[in-house]
Structure 1
């Protein structure tokens, strides 16, 4: 039991959290850093007996990222205690789809209060396309936060995320987070590219073959 609680706390802390105060990440970083990313409906929940976990039953409608043996995700777990970064699902709409990203312990999947969990309908068109098509192909690229100028990249695989400079409460609605991805430019260099233009070029190339 103790080891499980330690893992849950470490899972929370590993996502830029301290005492459950979480740092926001670019959606591409969310995808690349998470062990699983799915689109799912939260249909039920129950407290585990003799356990410090809460179990959410989900109906997975789309798997964007997961180990092959865990592609049929039916349950996700979180800590019961808020002090251990337990996640509390507020929506009572069982038909609403959510983008859910989290981590894996053994053969079980976990989320916490620092996990990226958002209504699918709240994501921008470009973010949806990113999760579906683009982010997975560019996880070698790295997104570096820029909190205060001057700031610069450390290597050619990094893109500076300057949305944090605007001190926005919701960084996910920032221009780079909502519309751009850090992608390979074909010359061992990662650059920001509009997801719309990037996807358009992908479709154009595909149709020209």
Structure 2
């Protein structure tokens, strides 16, 4: 049990360190700039060719026909970097298709599902896709305001990109009123 907890903590720390090395990226940016966005549970350890078996729990974006997915909703994920995963742990995965597998580069994005805010988890279904025209603005936004970062998204509205004021974001109004008023 100790080793299981140790590996979960180690994987989490490594993912956080890697994301800092790649620069901070809003989850919507990762969603829009990658061919695939999905929720997956890793089922096996890395094989000799750097591949993992994973069960796709939800495919949010991407053409399913480009992947080799079996009847049990399992596919192969190839990580182009070393990382240890806990068996059965769920992650948000962003990547591209190559030879029927999902390939994830160092900065594409892989994040433990449990560390995403409730809003981010829900936004994967509908909201993030509405702002993919705004990818450049999302990518250049500096995420120094955690509340805006975790509770809002950009959308194309009236010929421009705007941050959407959501109910969770309104709860931050007192703390970040100077920034939120700019995006209301």
TM-score normalized by structure 2? 0.68
Change over 3 Å in CA distance of 1:57–1:125 after alignment to 2: same
Higher share in strand: 1
Residues 47-89 of structure 1, C-alpha deviation per residue, up to 9 Å, x if partnerless? 33xxxx401000111111121303635101123xxxxxx1313
Give the Å deviation of 1:114: 1.9
Alignment correspondent of 2:4: none
Counterpart of 1:67 in structure 2 is 63
Q: How far, CA to CA, are the matches of 1:115 and 1:39 in structure 2?
A: 14
Number of aligned residue pairs: give it: 145
Q: Which residue of 1 aligns with 2:152?
A: 180
**Is residue 103–residue 110 contact of structure 1 (8 Å, CA) maintained in 2?**
yes
What is the alpha-carbon distance in structure 2 between the residues aligned to residue 196 and residue 65 of structure 1?
25
Alignment of 1:35-50 (within 5 A): 35-48=35-48
Instruction: Give me the whole-angstrom Cα distance separating, in 2, the residues matched to 1:34 and 1:87.
Output: 20
CA deviations on 1:11-68 (whole Å, 9 max, x unpaired) are xxxxxxxxx94222111110000111111111103433xxxx4010001111111213
Q: How does 1:1-209 map to 2 (within 5 A)?
A: 21-48=21-48, 53-70=49-66, 72=69, 74-79=75-80, 86-89=81-84, 91-92=85-86, 94-144=87-137, 161-163=141-143, 166=144, 174-185=146-157, 187-196=158-167
How far apart are the structure 2 equivalents of 1:160 and 1:119?
Answer: 24
User: 1:54 and 1:160, CA in 2 relative to 1: closer, same or farther beyond 3 A?
Assistant: closer
Give the structure-1-normalised TM-score: 0.60
- Structure 1 regions of 5+ residues with no counterpart? 1-19, 80-85, 146-158, 167-172, 199-209
SS in 1 for 2:153: strand
Greater than 4 Å deviation, 4+ residue runs: none
Q: More helix by proportion, 1 or 2?
A: 2
RMSD of equivalent CA atoms: 2.7
Residues 140-193 of structure 1 deviation map (CA, whole Å, 9 limit, x = unaligned): 123437xxxxxxxxxxxxx96232xx4xxxxxx8223201111122x1121111
